[in-house]
Structure formats: structure tokens, C-alpha cells
Amino acid sequence: MAPKLQDEIKQTKPFATLEQEAMLNIERTAALLGHQLEQELKPYGITPTQYNVLRILRGAGERGLCRNEIRERLIAEVPDVTRLLDRLEDMKLIARERDAADRRLVNTHITRQGLELLDRLDEPVVEFHRGQLGHLGREDLRTLIDLLSRARQPG
């Protein structure tokens, strides 16, 4: 049996509520898995959030997306998407250009260099995720996905 969160964090008192224990389990799991992903991506010179932006832009295709569309699609909220995009542009992984029809709009596209980086990362990241969660099995993974989706819905 897997160790309980209470034991992992060396907490001697019981949790105040079952909801608190569940929430802290979600946070602890996300923190541990997220840190592992950070370490996996570090040799490639990008963060998980930068990786997320590149995947979003690859999925958007040639049309690209404006800053707000990218922000809405990110897995984690980011306080300053403009600075995030600035860094990716400095790394030559994305390019931005003003829309010809509406000069107020700036579209962001993934560059060839960004696509090449994602191509190199696709298989290692899939294998990495299998290593993180594959031991749960397909049925448990489906249950976990469903429970997490339900947890994100308003009460």
C-alpha cells in the first residue's frame, strides 16, 4: 500500500477534514510530478510552462494565436504571459507579428526551431509520463482523470 500523505509530510495530527486531506494530496502530487517534469526538461533549456506554450502553438498551426488565447489555454495560470512569450522569442522558439487586418492584434507562431525542439521532446515526454503514472493502469488512470475533472467543476 502507498504511504499516506500524513506520513510523507510527517504530520502528527489528523487533517481537519476529508476535503482538506484530498486537497493537500492533490497539491503534493502536483508539486512532486511538476518538479520531476522540470528536471526532465532542464537539459533542453525550457520550463514546463514554456513547453506548454510551444505545444499550444504547434496545435494552433500556421494561424498562430494572440497572447490572450495562449493565456486561456495554459495549464497553469501565469502572471505575465507577455514576458513568457518574450523569453521564448529571445530563444527563437516563437515569432510574433502584427495582424495585417487589425494592427492591434499580435499573432504568435511557433518557429521551425520550436517545432524541432518539440519533435525531439515528444517521445521522451511520453515515456516520462508513462514512468510517472503508467503503474496505475488504464482503469485507474481513467478513474483519476474523471475524478480530477469533476473536482475542477464548481460545487
Please tell me the predicted confidence (pLDDT) of residue 39. 97
pLDDT of 138 > 90? The answer is yes
Classify residue 67: in a domain, yes or no.
yes
Helix, strand or coil, per DSSP, at residue 9: coil
The DSSP code sequence of 93-108 is: SEEEEE-SS-TT-EEE
Rounded to the nearest 10 degrees, how much is the dihedral formed by the CA atoms of 148, 66, 36, 125?
Answer: 90
Q: Which structural domain, as residue segments, surrounds residue 83?
A: 36-122
- d(CA 86, CA 64) in angstroms, rounded, equals 16
What is the C-alpha separation between 86 and 89, in angstroms, rounded?
5
For residue range 42-96, what is the model confidence (pLDDT) as tens digits? 999 999 999 999 999 999 998 899 999 999 999 999 999 999 999 999 999 999 9
Mean predicted confidence (pLDDT) in 129-143:
96
Number of helices and strands in the chain (H, E): 7, 3
Q: Is 27 inside a domain boundary?
A: no
pTM of the predicted protein model: 0.89
In CATH, what number is assigned to the domain containing residue 88?
1.10.10.10
* Distance between CA atoms of residues 59 and 131, nearest Å: 25
pLDDT digits 0-9 by tens, 3-53:
788 878 888 898 899 999 999 999 999 999 999 999 999 999 999 999 999
Q: Domain tally for the chain?
A: 1
103-115 pLDDT, tens digit per residue, is 788 999 999 999 9
In a domain, 127, yes or no: no
Does residue 46 fall inside a structural domain?
Answer: yes
